[in-house]
Chains A and B, each alone.
Chain A
Amino acid sequence: MTTRGGTLTTARPRVGRLGSVRDRPVLLVGLGFVALLVALVLGVGVGSVTIDPADTIAILAHRFLGLDIPQTWTDATETIVVELRLPRILTAMLVGCALAVAGATFQGLLRNPLADPYVLGTASGAALGAAIAVLIPVRFVILEFGLIQGLAFIGALASITVVYKLSRNSGLAPLTSLLLTGYAVGSLLAAALAMAMYLSGAALRQIFTYLLGSFDAATWPRFLATLPIILIASIAIMLRARSLNGLLLGEQAAAHLGVDVRRERRILLALASLVTAAAVAISGLIGFVGLVVPHVVRLLVGPSARLVLPLSAIGGAALLAYADIIARLAGGIPVGVVTAILGAPFFLVILRRARTGYEV
């Protein structure tokens, strides 16, 4: 394994026929954007109410391009397109992007292929926060942000902070300590969550819905409040791709490359946790995307974080967007189920083709 100017040029996995795309990340980016655009059109075009595609386009052109089109559609149709479907599909993309970027970051940071955005207790923390919010009898809403979103966000960040602080005082190697502390704290929070659910009575269904994850609650204010957090933190992570590449080689190698290991690890951990917390606050817990999308991207283009991070962002956005469209068409089944059903076989195929040299 050699490095040149911080870019990894490690032996890449052979991916059979997929090898042709391997050296063309630009092509992949292009394909990704086309897929996202198609998802956007589909996401606004389909749903439980049938809307004429011409009306959909006219409404969008009228509202967002300011074109002076005579109104041939009903107000209800316009509400459905503009207030329900558009924020929903955009939120799905944003959350997919967030989870995939966070997953890629955690996998690289922890050098663990099983790491996902939730590995260090964020999921349990967020879920417990949401459960507590459901159980508190106060209805409290600021800018459409209820207690659930607020406490889920705080719960996710608080749990990862606790994990980080506790893990630093351990005699174990930092990564081992972090992972094990994360597991322990996560288990504790999961137990508290189980207790909260046991005591929740009729509120159980709402907690359960949060655990399954969904974009039913997507609104413009929520999307717009989450957008800058996820966008800025994701870009900040991508700007640190060089550090992530260094950390991937191990602490010593990273230090030799001039990476301030402790500082960079702390910053990347904080950024990835922030992205995760923002995502789980608006969508609940959606599994699979953050674990698998980065792996698929690595199998396609190799391990360099410079490519893995942006391509994971696009891939995650596309996967969740399509998963949500399918979930809606299938009568509102949980989107996490669809991501797994769509993604797992695809992932298995890619895994079988990757014969040699694959590692996180």
Chain B
Amino acid sequence: MFPLSPFAQRAAPSARLAALIASFVLVLAACSAGSAASTSPTASTAAVATPTPLLTAAPTPSPTTVPAFPTTLTDDEDTAVTIPAEPQKIVSLTPASTEILFALGAGPRVIATTEFDDFPPAAVALPAVATYTTVDVEKIVGMEADLVIAGGNFFNPPEAITRLRSLGVPVLVVYAPNLAGVLKDIELIGSAVGLSAEAKAMTATMQAGIDAVSAATAGLVKPRTFYELDVSTGPIYTVADGSVYVEMIELAGGDPITTGSTADFSIPLERLIAADPELILLGDAAYNVTAEQVKARSGWNVMTAVKTDAIRPANDVIITRPGPRLVQGLRELALAIHPNLVLPSAAPIPPVP
């Protein structure tokens, strides 16, 4: 380690601390890439119960696309955000928000995104103003952005959000702890950019898609499912209690094996063996983890899933990206858990013009 911090310059416990820090950050970067949906016990319990009204200061959303600006919206951190006019220079600081903006048709008004945006291709080409740890406030101010959409639950540094607001840039903070939260965020972003009718149409389509998957898997036997996020650094990272993964796996017809805690993201091997997964889904398949590697791991051969060869890849990015492709992710997850499942065809999101 280079002397990262004063801790790293000293003796053994400090070096271990530095290694701990580094591994944590790697894990964050590797497995929660682009997903603001990491678990937060308080936020998720709060939001599960409230499919609440969305707008505070726009009581009658007009049926036309004529936007009502100025408008004041309450974001996911309960901050009242006033947007004076229809935003023309939008900065998106989370990949999911970027996807939402483009799916709604506000893509041409997006002027900057993050360096880890990967979809749609038009968004990847835009200038990047955020990394995993920083937000370039100077650049955003220099671009004269008139709306910034940021990730809550520490996805973007709260410091940078406060800073932008103090400089007069409206910042809408979104954080979806569950599926209902994703739909709510799509409508929130729709209202912020003057496309609330489009947003409502999209969430209605998405809800129908979710309901279709849920109905298709309703009568099926739910296999005990272990969803692997990452094992490359040693600990076995998987689904924490209360996370959006739990909801997704249950909807897709699985019985998720969790870490047993909302704050713990790793599961001890003995707990996993005791839970005896009937199905292992490799969310880290994109990082070249294969079923053969899983079978070769010491101690794993006692699990039913390994004995019966029920180890399948899962497209983690789509499954966990809290945006318009969520229904697609849910369908893929359902097919990964029940390969013989027949799903009714679903309306594409975003709608094909």
Q: Please give the residue numbers on chain A whose beta carbons come within 8 Å of chain B beta carbons, in ascending order.
A: 47-49, 74, 76-77, 79-80, 83-85, 116, 118, 123-124, 134, 137, 139, 141, 144, 146, 187, 190-191, 193-194, 197-199, 201-206, 208-209, 211-213, 216-217, 219, 285, 287-288, 291, 331-332, 334, 336-337, 340
Q: Is the CB of B20 within 8 A of A209?
A: no
Q: At the interface, yes or no: B67 with Cβ under 8 Å from chain A?
A: no
Interface of A is mostly: helix
Chain B residues with Cβ under 8 A from A80's Cβ? Answer: 138, 141-142
Q: Known A79-B141, A288-B3, A334-B4; judge A201-B24 contact (CB<8 A).
A: no
- Segment of B159-167, B202-210, B329-337 in the binding face: B159-167
Residues of B within 8 A of A193 (CB): 17
Q: Are B4 and A211 in contact (CB under 8 A)?
A: yes
B6-20 to A contact mask, C-beta < 8 Å, 1/0:
111100011001001
**Smallest Cβ distance from A3 to chain B, in angstroms?**
33
We find that the number of chain B residues with CB closer than 8 angstroms to chain A is 47
Tell me how far the C-beta of A209 lies from the nearest C-beta in chain B, rounded to whole angstroms. 6
Among the interface residues B137, B138, B143, B162, which one has the most CB atoms of the partner chain A within 10 A? B138
B38-46, B212-220, B300-308, B317-325: which one contacts chain A?
B38-46
Q: Is the CB of A197 within 8 A of B154?
A: no
Question: Chain B residues near A337 (CB, 8 Å)?
Answer: 2, 4
In the complex, chain B residues whose CB is within 8 Å of the CB of A79: 141, 167
Question: Cβ of A123 and Cβ of B6 under 8 Å apart?
Answer: yes
- Determine whether the beta carbon of B42 is less than 8 Å from that of A332: no
Q: Are B6 and A285 in contact (CB under 8 A)?
A: yes
**In the complex, what distance in Å separates the CA atom of A83 from the CA atom of B9?**
34
Using known A-B contacts A190-B13, A206-B157, A206-B158, determine if residue A137 contacts B42 with beta carbons closer than 8 Å: yes
Asked if B141 and A332 make an inter-chain contact with CB atoms under 8 angstroms apart, the answer reads no
B177 → A minimal CB distance (Å): 11
CB-nearest residue of chain B to A119:
B6
Among the stretches B126-134, B183-191, B341-349, the one at the interface with A is: B126-134
Binary flags per residue of B111-140, CB closer than 8 Å to A gives 1, else 0? 000000000000000000001111011110
Q: Does B25 contact A (CB under 8 A)?
A: yes
Question: Within the complex, which residue of B2, B40, B131, B142 is in contact with A202, where a contact is CB–CB below 8 Å?
Answer: B40
Known: A206-B157, A336-B4, A337-B2. A197 touches B21 (CB 8 A): yes
Q: A205–B138 contact, CB under 8 A?
A: no
Given contacts A203-B154, A216-B160, A336-B5, contact A208 B17 (CB under 8 A): no
Closest to B134 in A: A332
Please determine whether A47 and B159 come into contact, CB atoms closer than 8 angstroms: no
Contact A202/B154 with A48-B139, A213-B5 known, Cβ cut-off 8 Å: yes
Central interface residue in B7, B14, B32, by most chain A CB within 10 Å: B7
10 smallest CB-CB distances across A and B, nearest first, come from: A49-B142, A118-B6, A287-B6, A202-B154, A202-B38, A332-B134, A123-B6, A48-B139, A203-B154, A211-B5
Q: What residues of A have a CB within 8 angstroms of the CB of B4 in the complex?
A: 211-212, 287, 334, 336-337
- Further 5 A-B residue pairs, CB within 8 A, beyond A84-B167, A202-B153, A213-B5: A49-B141, A49-B142, A80-B138, A137-B42, A216-B159
* Contact yes or no, B157 A285, CB < 8 A: no
The answer to whether B131 touches A332 (Cβ under 8 A) is yes
Residues of B within 8 A of A49 (CB): 138-139, 141-142
Contacts of B24 in A (CB 8 A): 197-198, 204, 208
The answer to whether A340 and B2 have CB atoms under 8 Å apart is yes
A26 nearest CB across to chain B (Å) = 33
**Distance, CA A202 to CA B141, complexed state (A):** 27
**Considering only CB atoms, which chain A residue lies closest to B168 in the complex?**
A79
Interface centre among B20, B21, B153 (most CB of A within 10 A): B21
A212 and B5 form a contact (CB under 8 A)? yes
Q: In the complex, what distance in Å separates the CA atom of A336 from the CA atom of B38? A: 29
Which of B39, B40, B133, B136 meets A205, CB within 8 Å?
B133
- Residues on B with beta carbons closer than 8 Å to the beta carbon of A209: 133-134, 157
CA distance A123 to B6 in the complex (A): 7
CA distance A194 to B153 in the complex (A): 20
A203 to chain B, nearest CB (A): 5
Choose one: A137, A205, A332, A336; the contact of B25 (CB below 8 Å).
A205
Decide: A76 and B136 in contact? CB cutoff 8 A: no
Asked whether A84 lies within 8 Å of B154 as measured between CB atoms, the reply is: no
16 A-B pairs, CB-CB below 8 angstroms?
A: A76-B143, A84-B137, A85-B138, A187-B13, A190-B7, A194-B17, A197-B21, A198-B20, A201-B39, A201-B40, A202-B154, A202-B155, A208-B24, A209-B157, A331-B131, A336-B4
Q: Which A residue sits closest to B78, measured CB to CB?
A: A139
B138 partner, pick from A47, A187, A197, A219, beta carbons under 8 A: A47
B144 part of interface (Cβ distance < 8 Å): yes
